Structure 1
């Protein structure tokens, strides 16, 4: 939270990189991928902090795994993927794995903070 008492989302800056359509060498492609990977790690770390908050807030362990929420998240991701021209063959398995690992992390945090 900032000094004004409001939560301002963290903006993850992506290093300067060549647009993929303008890449002329594998060096440019790899630099772009590496820059995006750094940004993705920062975003995933922030997402993990929300899982930490969920583990702190949820009233019981049974609330950690929520099938309806999983399907809601996947549906939203697939809609966003389509809008951004990301293949659903990439988006869906990546997010299902992310959700699975996030739930495992949340269980771990939940158990550690309540024992």
Structure 2
């Protein structure tokens, strides 16, 4: 962590962290896309048990790292919801067997 003396310093560090977060979120998105391609049934895209498992793991990590649960919980729930929406798009775009025997 860098000690900041001015708002310009604070903003520079926040911008640096935002760039790193975007890179990590883009990487996370690639795995969401793989999940959408792998899952065989649309009903498997939303998995409530997995959602709660992810949130609990994030909250435990937030506690270890000093991130407020009031930030972590709603942020990850929104991230998960948006990820699920994206995964549905990927799943729905998959080619389907036509059932014609071709």
Task: Give the alignment's TM-score, normalised by structure 2.
Answer: 0.91
Pick from 56, 63, 68 the counterpart of residue 75 of structure 1.
Answer: 56
In structure 1, what is the equivalent of residue 11 of structure 2? 30
2:34 is aligned with 1:53: yes
Helix, strand or coil: the match of 2:67?
A: coil
> Unaligned stretches of 5+ in structure 2?
97-102
Match of 1:66 among 15, 23, 47: 47
| 1:1-34 residue CA offsets vs partner (Å, 9 max, x unmatched) | xxxxxxxxxxxxxxxxx61xx1100010000000
Listed as ranges, the gaps of 5+ residues in structure 1 are 1-17
TM-score by structure 1 length?
A: 0.81
What is the root-mean-square deviation in Å for CA atoms of aligned residues?
1.0
SS at match of 1:114: coil
Higher share of residues assigned helix: 2
Q: Deviations over 1:35-68 (max 9, x none)?
A: 0000000000000000000011111101000000
1:110 counterpart = 2:102 = no
RCO comparison, higher one (Cα < 8 Å, 6+): 2
Alignment length (residue pairs): 96
